[in-house]
Amino acid sequence: MNSMYPFLFLSFFMFVIGLGVMIARKNIIAMLLGIELILNASALNFVTYTRFVNQNLDGHIMSLFIIIIAAAEAAVGLAIVIRFFQVRESIHIDDAAQLQA
Amino acid sequence: MNEGLISFLSQFDGHKAFVKMISDFAGTDATSTISFFIYLAACLAVVGVMATIGGLGTYAERKISADLQARQGPNRVGPFGLLQMLADGVKMILKEDIIPSAADKPMFIMAPMLCIVGVFGSLAVVPFSSGFILSDLNVGVFYLLGISSLVGVGIFIGGYSSNSKWSMLGGMRGASQIISYEIPVTLSIIAIVVLSGGMSFGTLIGGQGGFPHEWYILHNPFTFIAFFVYFIGALAETNRAPFDLPEAESELVSGYHTEYTGMRFAFFALAEYIEVFVVCGVAAALFFGGWKVPFDLGTGEAFSALPPIIAKNIGQILQLGSFFTKTLLLYYVVIWIRWTLPRLRVDQLMTLCWKYLTPIALFNLIMIAVWAYAFDGKSMFELFTAMGSGSTGGH
Amino acid sequence: MSSHNLDVYMPILILIGIGIALVFGAILFGKLIRPHNPSRLKEQAYECGEDPVGVAWSNFNVRFYVVSLIFIIFDVESALMFPVASVFKKFNEIGRGGIILCTFIVFVMILVSGVIYCWRKGDLDWVKSFHLNLDESSEKNTQEAS
Amino acid sequence: MFDSVLFLLSAILIVVGSLGVLFIKENIMHACVALLTALFGVAGAYAVLGADFLAATQLVVYVGGVVILMLFAVMLTGGGAANENKFGIEKIPAMGNVKTYIIAGVNVLVISLVVIKIMANVMQDYKAVALPAYESTVEKLGTLLVTDHVLAFEVSSILLLGALVGAAVIARPIGSTK
């Protein structure tokens, strides 16, 4: 692939879909899926610019740390969801209006 | 950047001439297209061999278990019952295909596919010989860890989608067992990567030699322990006994594939047997020198009397023989263990993983890194010989 | 020549394709020759002959989640350790191995401290209630009283 | 040519998977599998971009880790059966309805217009450079991680420690913390 625009379009698409998921869904786990999409879109963007613009690997490092942060975020977020489910027996975001366990 | 089948073939003049001919004929650069067809043929060959090995695995399993229990085993179909696997295949394909009405149908269909894809994907980096490795990715081992974790997802989804309590319990257990035991396995592999300085199987095997004292398992005492950690973890990752809790017959009926019939069940079984081969192959490559043949016979330079193309191919065949011998011996040990040891309890399983194997693997990792730093990556035998020559030189 | 190096990913795609084709092909081929006479009893989930009660998708114990949580942390750390491990030898040869060794050990030790925490708090125990009965029986009694 | 094929395949996976995450409404489990598809596609895109190590990392961390974590979490919260709002105040189903989708659509439209405007401005100054050949990134990444980015390397370890301890404390069964 000799053009960067297909990749930028892909990551833009993923970002937009992730945003849509976060707004449209009321299920907390589904919203976390949307966050994963958004984080992946940004990581893909970093790698794209690394290849097509400046060619040093700092973008790869950034993507690596984005992947790490996404994993940590998923772990903690899902732990909160599970805890919330234990307390309220619901994973609906509207039920989480006051987050006091 | 990457070695593999094509770079091996392109050493020969015949391949170059063929590529040039096709390129001239088509008017464009046909290297990629030709590579595609070569890869396609090679992949079909590998899959064929692997399916046969998977089938023979079921046969060997029965024969060896029969031997261990002083029985006959399958002996009716074909010589020594060797065609039993074909009979099984025909039986499987003739079975009625039942999907439970309460099941999650798309997921039910997808689960065996995920298992098969995960296992077949990992075949791409298994080093059969220095020339015949489908693609020697420079992230080989790491890629293998990633793609084979699809099997865990497949098992979980298989258990979930059946909507049966047995399947669900088996699937949850299977997934948590697979991910737990991936930790010691990964840490052991990192320890070997520290020694060899690369993740591709070419580098990993290249650091070893043909003789046992040049293998990584005898490199230092900690790699010796690391092998056993890896092997126990690999047994558990492939759901083999004594870690076959996901399909424990006496408590979970048949685990995650309780509701699967016919071919769908056969694919789960096939995936399991091929995965055993893959982990045994990886163990052979990481710890037992892989395709290395003693006296460097594998490079074909010993047969310099012959034309180079024949000498190289003889070397390749010797390497294939070496790899398959080591791998199948490990395969035998896996089956032997299955019919010798009793099954663990769930809490024992988790205790073994988290309280024994993982700390040992972490300790091993650090100690191997310290060893590589302190002795410049020399193995025990090199140190002994250096000490011996040093003392004789001193006198 | 730049595109040729991507050819190494070809076998992976081909193998995945073969896998998918094999699964669908075998099942479609089997459709021609195998019997198909479903009945209500056949399509029921197996529950030792009884009628299944409820769905199987019920709640599971949280310990499954804690195990997978520790796993994912280790998994991510291994993703960081692999590149460092593969340059260890190179740095060792130019005499900079000590620095990497220190970095590596500090990294692993921070990870180990987390595992030790989980171990001490009993997150690694599969049968926790059993240990609670043994060790903290007095505390449990007060809980039951309250 | 093969790079185009690989890119097209991964683009299809990404598009199908993302749309699946957005539009699968019946079962959160299916949405998780759609996410798996999209993440697989991202790994393919990394491979096309010459980031071989990142592609493998994507497989290891997401396929083996995050997706399994999400599947477990779905099982622990009622297996996707809990699609209804317990209190029924707003009567919005958990997987969204037409109203939420319209709101999301409008929001996405506005934000995407802004992003496209910014990207167009940035892209005006972009001049194409010669692309480097594909080569191994592992050694370079490892070298960067222990030289330039060594602080980030160590701090990420502390971040993961925090995530481990925090999530373990949060997810611990209620009975053992009372």
- DSSP 8-state code for residue B136: E
By the CB < 8 Å criterion, does D11 face chain B?
Answer: no
Contacts of C44 in chain B (CB under 8 A): 100-102
- DSSP 8-state code for residue C18: H
Give domain status of residue C129, yes or no. Answer: yes
Between residues 40 and 79 of chain B, which touch chain C (CB distance below 8 Å)?
40, 42-44, 46-47
Sign of the CA dihedral with D116 first, then D118, D124, and D127 last: negative
Domain residues for the domain of C125 are 63-145
Summarised one tens digit per residue, pLDDT across range C40-87 is 776 676 666 666 666 666 666 777 788 888 888 888 888 888 888 888
Between residues 105 and 124 of chain C, which touch chain B (CB distance below 8 Å)?
105, 108, 111-112, 115, 119, 124
Rounded to an integer, what distance in angstroms lies between the CA atom of residue B347 and that of residue B349?
A: 5
List of chains touching A (3+ CB pairs within 8 A): C, D
Flag whether pLDDT at C2 surpasses 70: no
Q: Provide the pLDDT for residue A100.
A: 57
Give domain status of residue C122, yes or no. Answer: yes
Counted residue by residue, chain D has a size of 178
What number of C-beta contacts closer than 8 Å exist between B and C? 230
Residue type, B104: D
Tokens matching residue B145? 């860890």
Flag whether pLDDT at C100 surpasses 80: yes
Contacts of A79 in chain C (CB under 8 A): 65, 69
Give domain status of residue B120, yes or no. Answer: yes
Residue pair A31/A98 in contact by the 8 Å Cβ criterion? no
Out of C62, C69, C79, whose CB is closest to A75? C69
Total domains, chain B: 1
Rounded to an integer, what distance in angstroms lies between the CA atom of residue A37 and that of residue A18?
A: 5
Q: Provide the pLDDT for residue D83.
A: 52
Tokens matching residue B200? 């591709």
Flag whether pLDDT at C146 surpasses 80: no
Summarised one tens digit per residue, pLDDT across range A38-77 is 999 999 988 888 888 877 888 888 888 898 888 888 888 8
Tell if the CB–CB gap between C26 and B263 is shorter than 8 Å.
yes
Domain residues for the domain of B255 are 103-394
Contacts of A86 in chain C (CB under 8 A): 62
Tell if the CB–CB gap between D168 and C113 is shorter than 8 Å.
no
Tell if the CB–CB gap between A72 and C76 is shorter than 8 Å.
yes
Flag whether pLDDT at B195 surpasses 60: yes
Q: Provide the pLDDT for residue D53.
A: 87
Determine the longest span between alpha carbons in chain B, in angstroms: 84
Q: Provide the pLDDT for residue B391.
A: 58
Of the residues D170, D172, D176, D178, the best mutation for testing chain A's interface (the one with the most A CB atoms within 10 Å of its CB) is D170
Contacts of C76 in chain A (CB under 8 A): 67-68, 71-72
List of chains touching B (3+ CB pairs within 8 A): C, D
Phi, psi of B240 (to 5 degrees): -90, 155
Tell if the CB–CB gap between B93 and C26 is shorter than 8 Å.
yes
Of the residues B9, B10, B35, B43, the best mutation for testing chain C's interface (the one with the most C CB atoms within 10 Å of its CB) is B43
Tell if the CB–CB gap between A72 and C65 is shorter than 8 Å.
no
Distance from CA of D36 to the nearest CA of C (A): 15
Distance from CA of B40 to the nearest CA of C (A): 7
The neighbour count for residue A15, using CB atoms within 10 Å, is 23
Distance from CA of D132 to the nearest CA of B (A): 13
pLDDT tier at D12, thresholds 50, 70, 90:
very high
Q: Provide the pLDDT for residue C59.
A: 62
Flag whether pLDDT at B3 surpasses 80: no
Q: Which of C9, C6, C117 is nearest to C69 (CA)?
A: C117
Residue pair C46/B261 in contact by the 8 Å Cβ criterion? no
Say if residue B242 is preceded by a cis peptide, omega within 30 of 0.
Answer: yes
Give domain status of residue B265, yes or no. Answer: yes
Tokens matching residue B234? 């690999």
Average pLDDT of chain A, as a whole number: 83
Average pLDDT of chain D, as a whole number: 80
Give domain status of residue C101, yes or no. Answer: yes
Summarised one tens digit per residue, pLDDT across range B197-215 is 888 888 888 878 777 777 8
Contacts of C116 in chain B (CB under 8 A): none
Rounded to an integer, what distance in angstroms lies between the CA atom of residue A75 and that of residue B328?
A: 40
Of the listed ranges B8-22, B155-169, B193-207, the least confidently predicted one is B8-22
Rounded to an integer, what distance in angstroms lies between the CA atom of residue B40 and that of residue D2?
A: 14
Tokens matching residue B1? 């950047």
Mean pLDDT of D144-156: 85
Phi, psi of B259 (to 5 degrees): -90, 0
Between residues 119 and 148 of chain D, which touch chain B (CB distance below 8 Å)?
134-136, 138
Domain parsing of chain D, residue ranges: 1-78
- Please state whether at least 3 CB pairs lie below 8 Å between chains D and B: yes
Tell if the CB–CB gap between D141 and C2 is shorter than 8 Å.
no
Residue type, B146: G
- Looking at domain A5-96, which CATH architecture does it have? Orthogonal Bundle (1.10)
By the CB < 8 Å criterion, does C6 face chain D?
Answer: yes
Higher pLDDT, D100 or C144: D100
Residue A99's Cα: distance from chain center in Å?
A: 22
The neighbour count for residue B263, using CB atoms within 10 Å, is 25
pLDDT tier at C101, thresholds 50, 70, 90:
confident
Percentage of chain C beyond pLDDT 70 is 69
Rounded to an integer, what distance in angstroms lies between the CA atom of residue B291 and that of residue B310?
A: 18
Contacts of C114 in chain A (CB under 8 A): none
By the CB < 8 Å criterion, does A61 face chain C?
Answer: no
Out of B2, B98, B198, whose CB is closest to C38? B98
Element containing residue B16 per DSSP (H, E) = helix B13-26
Q: Provide the pLDDT for residue D88.
A: 52
Total domains, chain C: 1
Flag whether pLDDT at A81 surpasses 60: yes
Rounded to an integer, what distance in angstroms lies between the CA atom of residue B155 and that of residue B175?
A: 7
Tell if the CB–CB gap between B135 and C8 is shorter than 8 Å.
yes
Give domain status of residue C131, yes or no. Answer: yes
Sign of the CA dihedral with D16 first, then D18, D21, and D23 last: negative
Residue of B nearest to D73 (CA): B172
Tell if the CB–CB gap between A30 and D95 is shorter than 8 Å.
yes
Give domain status of residue C14, yes or no. Answer: no
CA distances from A82 to A76, A90, B171, D79 (A): 10, 9, 20, 12
Flag whether pLDDT at A34 surpasses 60: yes
Mean pLDDT of B82-106: 80
Residue of B nearest to D51 (CA): B139
The neighbour count for residue B15, using CB atoms within 10 Å, is 15
Specify which residues A92 forms β-bridges with.
Answer: A27
Q: Provide the pLDDT for residue D90.
A: 54
Element containing residue B363 per DSSP (H, E) = helix B358-374
Flag whether pLDDT at C1 surpasses 50: no
Residue pair B263/C34 in contact by the 8 Å Cβ criterion? no
The neighbour count for residue D142, using CB atoms within 10 Å, is 24
Tell if the CB–CB gap between B157 and D134 is shorter than 8 Å.
no
CA distances from C36 to B94, B292, C25, C31, C42 (A): 10, 52, 18, 8, 11
Residue type, B210: G
Summarised one tens digit per residue, pLDDT across range D65-117 is 888 888 888 887 765 554 555 555 555 666 667 777 888 888 888 888 888 88
**Contacts for B167 with CB less than 8 Å, ≥ 6 apart:** B158, B159, B160, B255, B256, B257, B258, B259, C45, C56
Residue of C nearest to D177 (CA): C121
Flag whether pLDDT at C135 surpasses 60: no
By the CB < 8 Å criterion, does B197 face chain D?
Answer: no
pLDDT tier at B249, thresholds 50, 70, 90:
low
Distance from CA of A4 to the nearest CA of C (A): 15
Q: Provide the pLDDT for residue B392.
A: 54
By the CB < 8 Å criterion, does A14 face chain D?
Answer: yes
Between residues 37 and 56 of chain C, which touch chain D (CB distance below 8 Å)?
55
Element containing residue C39 per DSSP (H, E) = none
Q: Provide the pLDDT for residue C145.
A: 41
Of the listed ranges A84-93, B296-305, B334-343, C131-140, the least confidently predicted one is C131-140
Structural class in CATH, domain D1-78: mainly alpha
Tell if the CB–CB gap between C76 and A78 is shorter than 8 Å.
no
Q: Is A92 helix (H, G, I), strand (E, B) or coil?
A: strand
Residue of C nearest to A80 (CA): C65
Residue pair B177/B239 in contact by the 8 Å Cβ criterion? yes
By the CB < 8 Å criterion, does D63 face chain B?
Answer: yes
The DSSP line for C69-127 is HHHHHHHHHHHHHHHHHHHHHHHHHTT-HHHHHHHHHHHHHHHHHHHHHHHHTTTT-SS
Summarised one tens digit per residue, pLDDT across range B360-369 is 888 888 888 8
Flag whether pLDDT at C144 surpasses 60: no
Out of C3, C63, C76, whose CB is closest to D2? C3
- Look up the pTM and report it: 0.87
Flag whether pLDDT at D24 surpasses 50: yes
- Please state whether at least 3 CB pairs lie below 8 Å between chains A and B: no
Rounded to an integer, what distance in angstroms lies between the CA atom of residue C66 and that of residue D164?
A: 9
The neighbour count for residue D120, using CB atoms within 10 Å, is 9
Counted residue by residue, chain C has a size of 146
Only one residue has tokens 């790079």, namely: D3
Mean pLDDT of B291-313: 73
Of the residues B32, B33, B141, B143, the best mutation for testing chain D's interface (the one with the most D CB atoms within 10 Å of its CB) is B143
CA distances from B165 to B170, B171, B177, C50, D62 (A): 8, 10, 18, 12, 27
Residue pair C64/B172 in contact by the 8 Å Cβ criterion? yes
Tokens matching residue B235? 């047994």
Tell if the CB–CB gap between A71 and C69 is shorter than 8 Å.
no
